[in-house]
Amino acid sequence: MTPETRASLAVLIAGWAAFPAFAQPFQVTRFTIDAGGGTSSAGGFTVRGTAGQPEAGPLLLSAEYRHAGGFWGNASACPGLGPTSCSRADWDENGGVDFNDFLAFLNDFSSQAACADLTEDGSVDFNDLLEFLNLFNRPC
């Protein structure tokens, strides 16, 4: 077989092998209902709710904020994470950080409530109190 015939045959085989590689009719569909939510408070009671479920995803953390997307069963009900709180130290979620937030945190801290584990190390200890004081000293 001559070199020209080999080259022609190689081009023909390469073209034939690439023929089935055309785009397939794939379709990616996605549908979500994300309607946000709200908080209603009166007296000592607070109700939180949404019309839909937020997108599920990884936990997003920064020095001052925490975002946990997902379903209500996995969402945190801890104080200071609600839509009306201005800081993680806003324990009563009234839009400001004051002495009442400090007292409310101390109640959860003394009862060893899981929400008082601000360092997320699995235990409520002195480091969590220090973390709250750091957050308490930052303005909203």
Given a cut of 80, is residue 134 above it in pLDDT? yes
Q: Tell me which DSSP letter residue 63 carries.
A: S
Q: Cα angle at 127 between 122 and 130, to 5 degrees?
A: 140
Task: Say how many domains are in the chain.
Answer: 1
Classify residue 70: in a domain, yes or no: no
Q: Give burial (CB, 10 Å; 0-12/13-18/19+) of 115.
A: middle
CATH number at residue 97: 1.10.1330
Q: Is 86 helix (H, G, I), strand (E, B) or coil?
A: coil
Classify residue 23: in a domain, yes or no: no
pLDDT at 112: 92
Classify residue 130: in a domain, yes or no: yes
pLDDT tens sequence across 89-127: 999 888 889 999 999 999 999 999 888 999 989 899 999
The whole domain housing 114 covers: 78-140
Q: Enter the pTM of the model.
A: 0.47
Classify residue 94: in a domain, yes or no: yes
Classify residue 132: in a domain, yes or no: yes
